[in-house]
Structure 1
């Protein structure tokens, strides 16, 4: 497969990624997913943030095993009732959002299929998010681990342990959220999709921080 280094980016595969992730890949033609790395705990690989009435809720997918094992082998722990918790949380957060009834059934169907592995769940959800954002990027999964690449490398960059402000990828563009008076930036992209629908892609384009944009 021919790779154009200027239009390609390689990233980790995240669970319902934050808006920053989509700002980072904005304008790219090929999105390469790292398919041969090891699983890392306390990352966005199995967690996402949504906004409830009184707080930001952090959703976490429980897994079997953990750090040091190949990510593609990590199985989801369905003995824990996390699916009901996540779906109920999403409904509570966005049930009254303008575009909830349109988007939610697609996400619900992915959860109800109960993919065995976290990698497969994340890939299905990412594909849906990109479709709803009308982002025509081509998704490919790497065939082997590549320690060095000639194109943009975002593996390990977008982490919940530090603020998005440190990375300089994303600048918040406020949109109408359901709860609270203060805008909460960089939640899961589903917050933006449920609230803004077709305008979500435009907001992400505006959120991409470029070299010309000075820190605010």
Structure 2
């Protein structure tokens, strides 16, 4: 029934020439939601409600990204949304779907700019959290991290360089070897530029002496 109503509404908007404008408004509304999730998730006391309400809008988020990534000239909005939802993909148990959207976004955003760098950051993180469980993709994840690190350094943003560096170290620790991870972790943990904003708790380095192994008692 809902699909019938949706189809009828679309046909009426096509007849009046309003469809393009309404779809852009729809895109802007859900792009704003994605940005709010990205900005508020780790500081907001209502994060559970934030994720629950976002999950309720999942179909609209999908429709918005599909529109943005297929409509000429709109790929930037789709990439921004897929990236902004990185924590949503992980927390709500959707890393595989998130990886697929981010891969499509990266295929559209090929310029070596900040948009691609941030999409690489999100894609490598979501993939490492289970978005792409195939062991053969480990090298692909590490390659995305390396490209993200390179672009971050070219952009010259200390905060983003710190996040990219720590991501390279922490995820290398998880998907590759400790030998590759340690230099990045040490470099990220020693970053002390005044302009660097605090790194969220999930990405802060943990001292080896305080790190517990799985199953180790507190």
TM-score class normalised by the smaller sequence: under 0.3
- Write 1 or 2 for the structure with the bigger share of strand: 1
> Which structure is richer in relative contact order (CA contacts within 8 A, separation 6 or more)?
1
TM-score (norm 1): 0.27
Structure showing the higher helix proportion among its residues:
2
Instruction: Report the structure number with the largest CA radius of gyration.
Output: 2
